[in-house]
Structure 1
Amino acid sequence: MTRLSDHELWAYIREDLPYFDLTTHLLEVSSKTESLSIITRDKVVAACTEEAARIGELLGCEVYYSVASGTKVEEEGLLLELQGDGEVLHQAWRLCQILLEYACGMATHANRMLQDAHNVNPDCEILVTRKSFPFAKRFTMRALLIGGVMPHRLGLSESVLIFENHRALYDDEAAFEAALPQIKKRCVEKKLVVESESLEDAKRMLQLGADVIQMDKSVPETLAALVAYKREHHPHATIIAAGGINRKNVIQYAQTGVEAIVTSSLYQAGMADLTSSWKSL
């Protein structure tokens, strides 16, 4: 995914720094050159370090060091070092650190969840839902992609996913099933994904031509049975699990043999434990 643009970064800067830093203005901070280092206290996957470095540049700092996004950084490892006069460095300080705390937190959690799944099922992908923080989709998606997961849906316009509420638009289930072959035909280059909550319904949807079955809030035993049925009768179909899956139970679900796990939990990963160090030059 492309980096966040200067326009987006300036919007972030102006939200927190609309005019000037009142505290440093009152303190009459020295104009001598200083160095700011942002350091991780834990092992993390670095994410959005390029954006953090660019924020420093936009505010007038010089980037002395920046680790590449996607790099696994050990405890006490350096993520970013900026240099500049005291006033501009203080302006960049919290903006950069907070951005990195969120981005590294999501990327690290995503990477660990993916590794947990791959340890028991190398063919199982972790897909993050479109339920990102409002107004923060590009930032959160970039951080999670750096962590190694993929988007389930980026929005409503690029994929076909039939939920129970969509079925309710028809007079009854028979009418929906009668319409499904035509829906499948009109998908053309898209896969037809149908959400199901029972083994028998999932089997029926596969028989009617669904390319992907998304099982919602299903127990692992049901998923394993559906995967076995799919492999025997519809080997080209895909089974994905969704609903209430997080890092605590991802192994249990990955072991069922599903091709993917859909989760929103990565948006609640929390912030990475970062700190900063200052020195005069």
Structure 2
Amino acid sequence: MRQDLAKLVYDDIGFEDITTRALIPPGLKVKGHIISKEEGISAGVELAVAIFTEFEVETEVLVADGEKLKQGQIIMEISGDPRSILSVERTVLNLMMRMSGIATLTSNIIKVVRSVNPDVIVAGTRKTTPGLQFFEKNAIRYGGGDTHRYRLDDSVLIKDNHLALVGGVVEAISLARKYASFTKKIEIEVETLEEALLAANAGADIVMLDNMDPEDVKTVLEALDDENLHDNVIIEVSGGINSDNILQFAKTGVDVISTGYITHSARSLDLSLELEKIH
């Protein structure tokens, strides 16, 4: 099991699970199942299997990551030592609930935006929980979204603070192109039409329109089309995008919508673990 995943479990257990050790005798065997108490998208199943396996709990997956869940549906059946199961229960459920909530919100958002823009990509941002970003990004993927960058070494993303220190769009792209491997895409965040045109002409792979309203986004797209630049660059919008306004951005015809909303504002899906003795 990954070292960081093991740490999550043992941080919760501490020296011992006092309650379970006090109440549950050794040698007892149980079976149980993880149930979804509402509709949604399943996520965190492979993660749960990894944790249970580390603690010698047998599992049978009935609903895989990324599949639809009905209310009352059994996601996974488990069996083994109840002391192990009870000691990891909360960590397993917390991770699965968090990830399933993100996957469900992502899926719901995608259904809305693709009703008006069938080709638009919905991506996450790095507004994730430190230590859990890998799992939260995977949850976006299970919900049908794009993970964007997992880490800073995935690609170049030139932001406003970089530009403030470098001096300009063209210079920043030139420096990034000289330093980065040819395998790394170069993306730049811009705030005006002028900067967007400069970035596209300077050879950026992706131009992110940051904190623009939908009308400004349309203006940029029209200008890029007029100069035959849009075919050579991916146009992404980001900044303050949520369930209330995302449809308006999708209607502009933009290529990618990235939003931290699907991670920082996702509600956990309600799941439960129920056990019974094996007689």
The two structures have a TM-score, normalised by structure 2, of 0.87
Do 2:107 and 2:144's aligned partners in 1 also have CA atoms closer than 8 Å?
yes
Residue 16 of structure 2 aligns with which residue? Answer: 20
Residue 61 of structure 1 aligns with which residue? Answer: 57
Do 1:29 and 1:86's aligned partners in 2 also have CA atoms closer than 8 Å?
no
Residue 198 (structure 1) aligned with residue 195 (structure 2): no
Aligned partner of 1:277 among 251, 274, 279: 274
Residue 256 of structure 1 aligns with which residue? Answer: 252
Q: d(CA) in 2 for partners of 1:191 and 1:142?
A: 21
Residue 47 (structure 1) aligned with residue 43 (structure 2): yes
Question: Which piece of structure 1 moves more, 247-256 or 59-68?
Answer: 59-68
Residue 34 (structure 1) aligned with residue 50 (structure 2): no
Unpaired segments ≥5 residues, structure 1: none
Residue 90 of structure 2 aligns with which residue? Answer: 94
Decide whether aligned partners of structure 1 residues 25 and 273 sit closer, same or farther in structure 2, where only a CA change above 3 A counts: same
Q: d(CA) in 1 for partners of 2:221 and 2:250?
A: 11
Q: d(CA) in 1 for partners of 2:101 and 2:114?
A: 20
Structure 1 SS opposite 2:78: strand
Q: d(CA) in 1 for partners of 2:125 and 2:46?
A: 25
Residue 121 (structure 1) aligned with residue 114 (structure 2): no
Question: Which piece of structure 1 moves more, 99-108 or 83-92?
Answer: 83-92
Structure 2 SS opposite 1:10: helix
Residue 148 (structure 1) aligned with residue 144 (structure 2): yes
Q: d(CA) in 1 for partners of 2:84 and 2:162?
A: 53
Do 2:156 and 2:176's aligned partners in 1 also have CA atoms closer than 8 Å?
no
Residue 211 (structure 1) aligned with residue 194 (structure 2): no
Q: d(CA) in 2 for partners of 1:54 and 1:156?
A: 27
Deviation at 1:280, TM superposition (A): 2.5
Residue 132 of structure 2 aligns with which residue? Answer: 136
Q: d(CA) in 1 for partners of 2:241 and 2:30?
A: 46
Deviation at 1:42, TM superposition (A): 1.3
Structure 1 SS opposite 2:114: helix
Q: d(CA) in 2 for partners of 1:215 and 1:22?
A: 53
Q: d(CA) in 1 for partners of 2:6 and 2:12?
A: 10
Q: d(CA) in 1 for partners of 2:85 and 2:183?
A: 51
Deviation at 1:16, TM superposition (A): 1.0
Q: d(CA) in 1 for partners of 2:175 and 2:202?
A: 11
Give CA-to-partner distance per residue, 1:204-252, whole Å, 9 cap, x none: 3333443322111111011112112223321322211010112232211
Do 1:180 and 1:208's aligned partners in 2 also have CA atoms closer than 8 Å?
no
Residue 79 (structure 1) aligned with residue 75 (structure 2): yes
Residue 162 (structure 1) aligned with residue 158 (structure 2): yes
Aligned AA for 1:279?
E
Q: d(CA) in 2 for partners of 1:253 and 1:227?
A: 12
The two structures have a TM-score, normalised by structure 1, of 0.86
Decide whether aligned partners of structure 1 residues 181 and 159 sit closer, same or farther in structure 2, where only a CA change above 3 A counts: closer
Structure 2 SS opposite 1:157: coil
Structure 2 SS opposite 1:169: helix
Question: Which piece of structure 1 moves more, 250-259 or 198-207?
Answer: 198-207
